[in-house]
Amino acid sequence: MFCRNQTARATVARGSALEMEIRRGKFRKSVFLDTSQDSDIQKKIDHEIRMRDGACKLLAACSQRDQALEAAKSLQTCSTRIMAYMSELQRMKEAQVMQKVTRRSSDAGPMDDRLPCKGKVAISDLRIPLMWKDTEYFKNKGELHRCAVFCLLQLGGEIFDTDMVIVDRTLTDICFDNTIVFSEASPGFELRVELYSCCSEDDYSAGSTPRKLASKLSSSLGRSAGKKLRAAMEPGPCSPVSNGGAAPLLLPVPSVPGPKYHLLAHTTLSLSHIQDSFRTHDLTISGNEECSYWLPLYGSMCCRLAAQPHCMTQQMMSGCLKVKQCGGDPQSWTKVYAVLKGTSLFCYHQQEDVEANIEPAFTIGINKETRIRASEKDPHSKVQNICISNQYGGEEVTHTLTTDSREDTHCWMEAFWQHFYDMSQWKQCCDDLMKIELPSPRKPAPVTPKQGSLYHEMVIESSDDLSSTVSDILARRMQELELRSQLGTSPTWMSVFEENNAKSAGRTRHCTSRLSGHSPCTPHRLPRSPASPHRCPRLGLLSSDASLTSDSDSHCSTSPCSHHHGWPEPSSNFSLLSSSPSRLRPRTLSLDAKLSTLRGRGYGGGGAFQCPCQPPPSSLLAPLPISSRSPRTQRSTQTTLSCSSSTSSNSSSNSEGSHSPESSEGVPFSRPSPARRSLRNLRARLDPRNWLQSQV
């Protein structure tokens, strides 16, 4: 009726008595039954069946595609879990029938039946590269063919799924950010990673479109999309098997209309793949190009697989001992409370020290090179001593331990043997403790929904130093502005200033609105931007301005563009003070013009080791009156905003001279907002004569 050797499949025949019993949940009363373990599994099965029913109902009720995809994913996961639990139950029953001991424990049995300790295995940073053909990009002008993918990870009886990711041809890799931790893994574990995918095109639910229309549609769509659509329409060779083509089902999966996931690729990882760094593994790909759920995988998967065996993280043995170092005074036994954990035997003065986290009196290394043996019986107490020998840099150091009774010695020896056995089984995992980060429960920072322009993404850094800096600068600006009353327009950044005062972190979308098209002296971030204030410490109004506006010249030409982009430049381009010549430059839109003006102004080359904005304060005085007197370039003199934080200069081409003008000294750790950075980087990249630096 069933095959004894196959432990991974549920092979109960349909309609058999056993199946009926399991279905009805009545197996508890069966004679084969055992104990709490079975009932645990049964509870889990029941739970999963309920989840599955829920997912089916949800799937039937959903109208939106993403909900349907998520529900289908849960359905897939539940089905797989049910299969796994069923097969485990099966195995347990078989074992009982065979009258083997079914319980596994980590207590040491007789020597030959020693079992290695279990451990935690964590897999994280899963990344699967894709290899799109150029035809996807260049010839296929149609809609984006998208697939929803997720990974199922199975180890022992634990099955986890990752979040679902939508993949289209704009992605180069499928990345799963989840960290999955399996808690009870034995060294001989097999971690099976399966990648499921499902075509995610709207309106292409197979079977719902009439044939003729379908063929008309498919011929008028883009090449690959049409191909896939055709494949989806016909029940081709890749027709969906909703359980991913696994073993025959014990309980039929209810067939629910809606998206179905198919197995796209899989691989199995084991102890040899564990390393404390990132490694690439090969994937076995199922399916072919004709399938609707196909994605061009490169064929490998990159991830970090780490393990923490319990022998490294838990206390394997502890107790009171007397330790003597060989070569010392034969009578100098030290009483200690010893704890065996990881690669050492920690010896504390007293037991309380362990909880108090006080440093141990000394530590004896226990690793692969340590040799432990029992010495001859001590004539006085008839208790054997345990000798531990280590090689410390070429010298052999031996410690002798003794306990109060023979049983204790025996226990310690047992513990040591078990520890060595564990280390031999877990191999490289016991060299050093690998870090496993538990997935942090806090939610990631809320992502602002895109409102269509970068204006909305501007954020002022919330930091006290920053706000005072900004307020200072703005106050000064305001004073200057008094000089230019003929401008007539009140600087829009005034509102920013108020806002700044009120709350340091805020959005400044309104600031930019008025400036569109107006400010030539845009806060254009040129890589040459001057050193941050720390370089030109606020000696006075002018010098700080200088620092902040140094590259104001740049870019009048791109100012309009920047505005259209929403101008996130936080930086302080108080263009007012920018060196005057820039004012006279006509605005242009093209990059060429911009670069040529740069060249023209002799901003050559190096900028690398010099801050171009080092003009002595006096020279800055000149521009000031000039600009105020020349409203002809009225636009040019208009103030530009700056909701700046003192991370004014963004990437600058300078090097040691002005180290990373990314942030002011006062706030060494602040970082400009993403929107600012992106626009800044865009401009910085435009000029190839730079060597950008960014603070991270």
Partner 1 sequence: MSFVPGQPVTAVVQRIEIQKLRQGNNLILGFSIGGGIDQDPGQNPFSEDKTDKGIYVTRITPGGPADVAGLMMGDKIMQVNGWDMTMVTHDKARKRLTKKNEDVVRLLVTRKSLEEAVKQSMGGFPRP
Q: Which is nearer to partner 1, 376 or 656 (CB)?
A: 656
Instruction: List binders of partner 1 among 187-216 (CB under 8 A).
Output: none
Question: Which range, of 113-121, 485-493, 538-546, 671-679, touches partner 1 by CB under 8 A?
Answer: 671-679
Residue span 561-590 as binding mask against partner 1, x where in contact by CB under 8 A, dash where not: ------------------------------
Instruction: List binders of partner 1 among 486-505 (CB under 8 A).
Output: 505
605: left (phi over 0), alpha (psi -120 to 50) or beta: left
Q: Pick from 440, 441, 452, 488 the residue near partner 1 by CB under 8 A.
A: 440
Instruction: Please check whether residue 544 is in contact with residue 533, taking contact to mean a CB–CB distance below 8 angstroms.
Output: yes
Residue 462 as a binder of partner 1 (CB under 8 A): the answer is yes
Question: Which range, of 86-94, 257-265, 389-397, 440-448, touches partner 1 by CB under 8 A?
Answer: 440-448
Question: Which range, of 3-11, 154-162, 275-283, 510-518, touches partner 1 by CB under 8 A?
Answer: 275-283
List Cβ neighbours of 121 (8 Å cut-off, separation of 6 or more): 155, 181, 182, 185, 189, 191, 274, 305, 306, 307
Distance CA 352, CA 338 (A): 12
Q: Pick from 46, 437, 498, 592 the residue near partner 1 by CB under 8 A.
A: 437
Q: Which is nearer to partner 1, 202 or 669 (CB)?
A: 669
Residue span 605-634 as binding mask against partner 1, x where in contact by CB under 8 A, dash where not: -x-x--------------------------
In the complex, minimum distance from the CB of residue 595 to partner 1, in angstroms, rounded to a whole number: 14
Tokens read off for 79 = 């089905």
Question: Which range, of 390-398, 540-548, 640-648, 670-678, touches partner 1 by CB under 8 A?
Answer: 670-678
Q: Which is nearer to partner 1, 318 or 678 (CB)?
A: 678
In the complex, minimum distance from the CB of residue 655 to partner 1, in angstroms, rounded to a whole number: 5
Q: Which is nearer to partner 1, 541 or 684 (CB)?
A: 684
In the complex, minimum distance from the CB of residue 649 to partner 1, in angstroms, rounded to a whole number: 12
Distance CA 465, CA 662 (A): 15
Residue span 677-696 as binding mask against partner 1, x where in contact by CB under 8 A, dash where not: xx--x---x--xxxxxxxxx
Q: Whose CA is closest to 260, among 167, 201, 208, 198? A: 198
Q: Whose CA is closest to 555, among 567, 547, 544? A: 567
Q: Which is nearer to partner 1, 236 or 668 (CB)?
A: 668
In the complex, minimum distance from the CB of residue 278 to partner 1, in angstroms, rounded to a whole number: 3
In the complex, minimum distance from the CB of residue 660 to partner 1, in angstroms, rounded to a whole number: 4
Per DSSP bridges, beta strands 191-199 and 147-155 are antiparallel
Instruction: Please check whether residue 431 is in contact with residue 351, taking contact to mean a CB–CB distance below 8 angstroms.
Output: no
Residue 432 as a binder of partner 1 (CB under 8 A): the answer is no
Q: Phi/psi at 519 (nearest 5 deg)?
A: -105, 115
Residue 138 as a binder of partner 1 (CB under 8 A): the answer is no
In the complex, minimum distance from the CB of residue 276 to partner 1, in angstroms, rounded to a whole number: 7
Angle between helical axes of 211-220 and 223-233 (0-180°, round to 10): 160
Q: Pick from 151, 303, 345, 641 the residue near partner 1 by CB under 8 A.
A: 303
Tokens read off for 115 = 């079992």
Residue 660 as a binder of partner 1 (CB under 8 A): the answer is yes
Residue 125 as a binder of partner 1 (CB under 8 A): the answer is yes
In the complex, minimum distance from the CB of residue 535 to partner 1, in angstroms, rounded to a whole number: 13
Q: Pick from 252, 444, 488, 602 the residue near partner 1 by CB under 8 A.
A: 444
- C-beta neighbour count of 172 within 10 angstroms: 12
Question: Which range, of 17-25, 114-122, 439-447, 578-586, touches partner 1 by CB under 8 A?
Answer: 439-447
Q: How many CA atoms lie within 13 A of 93 on its CB side?
A: 24
Give residue 60's Cα distance to chain centre: 33
Q: Which is nearer to partner 1, 328 or 668 (CB)?
A: 668
Tokens read off for 265 = 């690729």
Distance CA 256, CA 68 (A): 11
**Amino acid type, 107:** D
List Cβ neighbours of 179 (8 Å cut-off, separation of 6 or more): 122, 123, 124, 125, 436, 437, 438, 439
Question: Which range, of 142-150, 433-441, 507-515, 590-598, touches partner 1 by CB under 8 A?
Answer: 433-441
First-to-last alpha carbon distance for the chain, in angstroms, is 63
Q: Pick from 302, 411, 593, 626 the residue near partner 1 by CB under 8 A.
A: 302
Q: Which is nearer to partner 1, 564 or 685 (CB)?
A: 685
Beta bridge partners of 182: 121
Residue 662 as a binder of partner 1 (CB under 8 A): the answer is yes
Residue 648 as a binder of partner 1 (CB under 8 A): the answer is no
Distance CA 547, CA 473 (A): 11
Q: Which is nearer to partner 1, 284 or 448 (CB)?
A: 448
Q: Pick from 144, 614, 659, 666 the residue near partner 1 by CB under 8 A.
A: 659
Residue span 314-353 as binding mask against partner 1, x where in contact by CB under 8 A, dash where not: ----------------------------------------
DSSP letter for each residue of 616-682: -HHHHHTHHHHHHH-GGGHHHHS-------S----S-S--STT--TTS-TT-TT----HHHHHHHHH
Instruction: Please check whether residue 167 is in contact with residue 241, taking contact to mean a CB–CB distance below 8 angstroms.
Output: no
Q: Which is nearer to partner 1, 256 or 460 (CB)?
A: 460
Instruction: Please check whether residue 653 is in contact with residue 608, taking contact to mean a CB–CB distance below 8 angstroms.
Output: yes
List Cα–Cα distances, 251 to 72, 196, 559, in angstroms: 18, 21, 66
**Contact footprint for partner 1 (CB under 8 A):** 125, 127, 177, 276-278, 302-304, 435, 437, 440, 444-445, 462-463, 505, 606, 608, 651, 653, 655-656, 659-660, 662, 668-671, 677-678, 681, 685, 688-696
